[in-house]
Structure 1
Amino acid sequence: MNKPDHYHKNGIDVIGFCEAQFSKDELRGFYRINVLKYVTRYQDKNGVEDLEKAEFYLQKLIELEKDLMMGVVLYESNKII
């Protein structure tokens, strides 16, 4: 999946920032919305690229759900998220 420079301004990754700032429920919604967005538009917009983006967010959602099921606390940049 292509990650354009505008998603990393000033060395800050937008997804990483969201993961550090949002609650687990907010992240769940963020991931689900993006999966739905990319799956529903792929035929009319970016084709396989949108399916790959949906797959990326689906994998993030799966990882989040597995971590929540196991009661694992994730650490990012020495912060509990």
Structure 2
Amino acid sequence: MDAVNSPTHYRQGEIECIEAIREALGTEGFISYCRGNALKYLWRCEYKGKRTEDLLKAEYYIKAAAVASAHGDSE
């Protein structure tokens, strides 16, 4: 597990938190959630002292939004 892609504190039992959020919000809600998180990490990356980690987290959420969008477009 790593701090960017799958931190252990976000997995309880069989499901990871982001999977539960995706199911709860649906495609459009999940894309908005990901965009908001990406913005948060980009916003704070210069001020928290973990710029590279925050940029990688923003990238993670941008990719998750893109994947959800691609799957949503094909449904």
Q: TM-score with structure 2 length normalisation? A: 0.80
The whole-number CA distance in structure 1 between the counterparts of 2:34 and 2:7 is: 19
1:56 aligns with 2:66: no
CA deviation after TM superposition for structure 1 residue 4, in Å? 3.2
* Other structure's SS at 1:33 match: helix
**What percentage of residue pairs aligned between the two structures are identical?**
27
Q: Which structure has more helix as a fraction of its residues? A: 2
Q: Which runs of 4+ in 1 moved over 6 A?
A: none
Question: CA–CA distance in 1 between the matches of 2:65 and 2:15?
Answer: 21
TM-score, scaled relative to structure 1: 0.75
- Tell me, which stretches of 5 or more residues in structure 1 are unaligned? 73-81
1:39-78 matches, cutoff 5 A: 39-45=42-48, 46-69=50-73, 71-72=74-75
- Give the total of aligned pairs: 71
Cα distance in 2 for residues equivalent to 1:26 and 1:5: 24
**Unpaired runs of at least 5, structure 2:** none
Root-mean-square deviation (Å): 1.5
The higher radius of gyration belongs to 1
